[in-house]
Amino acid sequence: MDPLEIMSDLENVFPYFQPIFSADEHRIIGYEVLARYKVDEKVESLGPFFLDDSIPEDYRMEVDDVILIKALEKALTLDPDVLLFINRDADLLVNQDSEHLLGILLEFEKKGISLDRIVIEISQRFPYGDFSHLDHFINYYRTYGIKIAIDNLGKESSYLDRIGQLSPNILKIDLQALRSSAVNHNYQEILYSLSMLARKIGATLLFENIEMEYQLQFAWRNGGRYYQGAYLNGPEEEFVERDILKQKLKDKCHQFISYEKRKLSSLYMITERFNDTMTDFLIKNRKSSESQNFLPALSQALDDAAFRLYICNDNGFQLSPNIFKGSGQWVVQNEYLDKNWSWRPYFLENIMRMKNNKKGILSDLYTDIETGESIRTFSYPLNETDYLFVDLAYHFLYEHDALL
């Protein structure tokens, strides 16, 4: 793509608009402005132009301005609550006079586009220089009601410390790598962690590059409020009708809700089954419940489901060795005696839940540090101070679909 050709033909530089849909309204809440160039009756994306650092910054800034002004002119026809997402490279932002972009936006505010409808999407290619300059720039724009989104999360590098410092209004997570249900579980956990980060800093999640229903369901299940991608609607030169997918999204939402309810019901029944198993076992083995034979006997009763058992007190100190199943045989691992596990996430919270409810609970899905496999842990109160932990093997989870 010849930059000089583009700069001499700015009449054929124009915006496309990709709609962004909401989970709560099932309709379009905004449009992302994308740059396009028409050459020989063919429309091409200007993405490579903006990503090419060899092209002078002044060229890229000028094309940015042309796209923005044309987009804002068209946006004057939109409903007054529709957001407009504007892409900006972080390096270009910090190198540009902060009043320049603001001046354009203020001119259109006079024409009826409130600044609280503007979302500036900052690419995750954060500036190489003084990061504080970008921080000041963003805080200044926020005083005018302009919203900030961080783009391209979910890719190779996340700069979580900088994201926390910027405290954006929206985190935009790329689901391009999540193209099938067979994707690496660790990748899904990373995306889940980003959803937790958004919750902690009070940001809204926008999932982009949704190309299939599975990705939409993942976005919905992981707290995504906004959705964008070819599965929903690709970029177009004109704005599409806001309720174009209202019924489809409503139907999909009902499907997702029904699936999650069935899964949660299955999890509840499996948890109750383990509680019943433990109650029956303790009744039949009351005399051995505090002896060294207790865990070996229990391991045989749970041989088809568990691969590790141990007992801790309510402060997290391990009172028993591990009873571990390796190569099909149960072995005793005395080296785990007296280890403390209170540092683990949710450990003390779960202890208090069991203490108050007098029932066992099932953990969420996580990766075991030692085996590297996806597991769940069933925890059970043996008495007021001692708690049993049963790590469930992956093959057992696989046989019970709701557990994965």
Pick from 360, 279, 352: nearest CA to 314: 352
Nearest one of 234, 191, 247, 257 to 20, comparing CA atoms: 234
Helix or strand run (H / E) with residue 401: none
For residue 293, pLDDT beyond 90:
no
Higher pLDDT, 22 or 133: 22
> What per-residue confidence (pLDDT) applies to 156?
46
Q: Can you give the pLDDT at residue 193?
A: 82
The DSSP result for 248-285, as a single string, is: HHHHHHHHHHHHHHHHHHHHHHHHHHHHHHHHHHHHHT
Say what the pLDDT of residue 237 is.
97
Is there a contact between 234 and 18 (Cβ–Cβ < 8 Å)? Answer: yes
Q: What is the pLDDT of residues 332-373, one digit of tens each?
A: 999 999 999 999 989 999 999 999 999 999 999 988 999 989
User: Are the folds of 3-237 and 279-403 the same?
Assistant: no
Q: How high is the pLDDT of residue 80?
A: 97
Residue-level pLDDT at 124: 53
Q: Quick one: pLDDT at residue 161?
A: 67
Residue 113 has pLDDT above 90, yes or no: yes
Q: Which of 154-163, 176-185, 210-219, 259-268 has the lowest mean pLDDT?
A: 154-163
The 8-class DSSP code of residue 223 comes to T
| All residues at 6 or more sequence positions from 161 whose CB lies less than 8 Å from its CB, including other chains | none
Q: How confident is the model at residue 30 (pLDDT cuts 50, 70, 90)?
A: very high
Number of alpha helices (DSSP H) and beta strands (DSSP E) in the chain: 13, 16
Q: Which residues contact 306 (CB under 8 A, 6 or more apart)?
A: 299, 325, 390, 391, 392, 393, 396
Token pair listed for 73: 């002119």
Task: Give me the chain's average pLDDT, please.
Answer: 91
Which of 164-173, 205-214, 345-354 shows the lowest mean pLDDT across its residues? 164-173
Q: Which two tokens stand for residue 377?
A: 């842990």
The answer to whether 398 touches 359, Cβ cutoff 8 Å, is no
Helix axes 98-109, 57-75, angle to 10 degrees: 10
| CATH class of the domain comprising 3-237 | alpha beta
- Among candidate residues 329, 303, 301, 333, the one with its CA nearest the CA of residue 320: 333
Encoding tokens for residue 355? 């203490």
Residue predicted with more confidence, 187 or 174: 174
Give the rounded percent of residues in the chain with a pLDDT score beyond 90. Answer: 73
Would you place residue 131 in the very low, low, confident or very high pLDDT band (cuts 50, 70, 90)? low
Residue, of 225 and 345, whose pLDDT is higher: 225
Residue 386: Cβ-neighbour burial (10 angstroms; 0-12, 13-18, 19+): middle
What's the confidence (pLDDT) of residue 172? 93
What is the per-residue pLDDT for 118? 98
Identify whether the C-beta of residue 101 lies closer than 8 Å to the C-beta of residue 94: no
Task: Find the mean pLDDT for residues 53-60.
Answer: 92
pLDDT at 157: 46
Q: What is the mean pLDDT of residues 112-140?
A: 80
Query: What does the pLDDT read at residue 275?
Result: 97
pLDDT, greater one: 85 or 186: 85
For residue 29, name the pLDDT band (cuts at 50, 70, 90): very high
- pLDDT of res. 184: 61
The maximal CA–CA distance of the chain, rounded, in angstroms, is 90
Q: Which helix or strand (DSSP H or E) is residue 137 part of?
A: helix 131-142
Whether residue 127 is predicted with pLDDT greater than 70 in this model: the reply is no
Domain boundaries, the chain: 3-237, 279-403
pLDDT beyond 80 at 322: yes
Per-residue CA distances from 119 to 76, 108, 164 (Å): 16, 14, 18
pLDDT given for residue 294 in this prediction:
93
Q: Is the predicted pLDDT of residue 71 greater than 80, yes or no?
A: yes
> Domain 279-403 carries which CATH code?
3.30.450.20
Least confident segment among 61-75, 176-190, 336-350, 371-385 = 176-190
Statement: residue 232 has pLDDT above 70 = yes
